[in-house]
Amino acid sequence: MPYAEGRTYFDADSHLMELPDFLVEHLDPGFRGVIPPLAIPPMSAPAGGPTPAERMARLVAERAHEPERADELARDVMTSGKNYDALGAFNPAERTRALDLLGFRAQWVFSSFSAGQVFFLRDIAARYAAARAHNRAMAAFCADDPRLLPVALLPLDDPAMAAAELDHALELGAQGVWVPAGPCGGRSPGHDELDPIWARLAEAGIPFLLHVGAQPIQIRPEYMNTGRPQPKDWLGGAENVRSKDLTVIHQSSEEFLSVLVLDGVLERHRALRGAAVELGATWVPGMLRRLDHAAEIWARSEPELRAFTRRPSEQIREQLAFTPYVFEDVGALIRESSPDLYLFSSDYPHAEGGRNPIGRFEASLGDLAPSVRDAFYEHNFVKLLPSVAA
């Protein structure tokens, strides 16, 4: 019996757990030796067992869980293991088995660590070469199961190189394109030189995606200086999200989307779709109100705003969507804004998604109508990526 049943579920956020040679294996020859293996955070290791380095070395050598371990993980796919210890975390055949057990119709598959390296490479040629290697690797991982929807990386720093890599990613079969939430090589994302990127995505019917990990996720370190010991993150370290970080983790994405709207990108490209993933959604109703206020007030002095035929909030409801965290009250968000805005996600196999995301979302959806649930679990995803309905 699958974990998800009784309706159609599209999962807007899942991941593969890269092995260190994930990028290197797919690099063009001229960049081998230039771009290093991925820096993977240390794995957990039980006391008295193999060290984290020894565990990773075995995964690199075997490329799969031992059959007995895979069978054990399959008994309860949502709870039996997380991260590298989950079924299908890094092996495509295992992932197909995991998806059978999860019961989702399809899921976007993001990388876990690559974006933090690719988007921040200083040399721009190396940045695009690493993105190309990533996109080949993602396509290869998802190639044998049409339910696995590969998400490509696309730096936007150089418009010509970005256009070339976008065409390459689409040829590979990318079903989402992850762009960094920040200025694009000294440009606004609404700059004229980037308009061909948004037009190409709109034409292809493939959404752009923002995701945690493509921009700093932690609050400025000065705010952590209290004169007392710094708290650990919820996983027990200090490199992930702490309470103060959660308050700002969405800000660069809100800024990016706000600028995109006010620069008229959604108005010019009405077929363009996009989503902000694993960035929470409590901030979304406030953003809608702020953008409507901005467009109304500054339309007097900014002709582009005066030319809008739809309010920013209408543009966003029609063209964008957002994934709430499992601990957020998605029912309250829907009541405050619109049922058209939010997407179900599991974050599989990451631990942050919890062990029963459907149960937690159902609790907050409460007595909302079946049509609202259909939108959350299915229709809003299909709105972004209509090809999955075929």
pLDDT at 234: 54
Separation between Cα atoms, residue 142 and residue 151, nearest integer Å: 10
pLDDT at 215: 79
pTM recorded for the entire structure = 0.95
Separation between Cα atoms, residue 278 and residue 51, nearest integer Å: 30
Q: What is each CA distance from 370 to 97, 118, 323, 375, 378, in whole angstroms? A: 30, 41, 19, 9, 12
Kindly state the DSSP code that residue 309 receives in the 8-state scheme.
S
Q: Is 33 exposed, middle or buried (0-12, 13-18, 19+ CB in 10 A)?
A: exposed
Q: Give the number of other Cβ atoms within 10 Å of residue 46's Cβ.
A: 7
Gyration radius (Cα) of the chain, Å: 21
Assess contact for 201 and 208: CB atoms under 8 A: yes
Q: What pLDDT, in 10s, does the model give residues 211-265?
A: 998 877 788 889 998 899 887 765 554 457 888 988 889 999 999 999 999 999 9
Domains of the chain: 10-19+102-212+249-389 (3.20.20.140)
Under 8 Å CB-to-CB from 264, ≥6 apart: which residues? 190, 304, 307, 308
Kindly state the DSSP code that residue 8 receives in the 8-state scheme.
-
Under 8 Å CB-to-CB from 378, ≥6 apart: which residues? 7, 8, 9, 10, 105
Separation between Cα atoms, residue 91 and residue 65, nearest integer Å: 8
Separation between Cα atoms, residue 12 and residue 53, nearest integer Å: 32
Which residues of the chain fall short of a pLDDT of 70? Answer: 45, 233-239
pLDDT at 238: 43
Separation between Cα atoms, residue 168 and residue 132, nearest integer Å: 8
Q: What is the DSSP secondary-structure string of 317-344? A: HHHEEE---TTS-HHHHHHHS-TTSB--
